């Protein structure tokens, strides 16, 4: 299993018509750098992304909880940028 950063790097590699397995470490590093830049660029959500997330509600023990879309998005991106096996602390609404 690969981490999200490598998953995006491999997607960039494939989009460029290249083979991850046939490429050298230098190419892997470049694709990882591009993947990191792409994921970091997604860290700040657009108004439309926040509006779409507004439609997500969580019910816990019969109580409707609406998490802040901005924080939820940042937490997801931070998790994607974290090394494999490193858990980030996410403030739970309940």
Q: How much is the pLDDT for 46?
A: 80
Q: How much is the pLDDT for 37?
A: 96
Beta strands at 63-65 and 58-60: parallel, antiparallel or unpaired: antiparallel
Backbone angles phi, psi at 64, to 5 degrees: -75, 125
Higher pLDDT, 58 or 63: 63
State what percent of residues in the chain have pLDDT above 90.
40
Q: How much is the pLDDT for 94?
A: 46
Domain that holds residue 68: 45-94
Number of domains in the chain: 2
How far is it, in rounded angstroms, from Cα 21 to Cα 10?
Answer: 10
- Residues 31 and 76 reside in one and the same domain: no
- Residues 59 and 94 reside in one and the same domain: yes
pTM for this predicted structure: 0.65
pLDDT at residue 1 above 50? no
């Amino acid at each position: 299993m690969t981490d999200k950063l490598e998953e995006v790097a491999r997607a960039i590699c494939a989009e460029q018509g290249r083979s991850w397995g046939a490429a050298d470490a230098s190419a892997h590093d470049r694709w990882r750098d591009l993947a990191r830049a792409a994921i970091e660029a997604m860290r700040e959500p657009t108004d439309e992304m926040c509006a779409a997330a507004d439609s997500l509600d969580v019910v816990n023990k019969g109580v409707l909880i609406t998490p802040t879309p901005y924080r939820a998005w940042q937490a997801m991106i931070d998790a994607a940028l974290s090394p494999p096996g490193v858990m980030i602390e996410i403030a739970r609404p309940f």
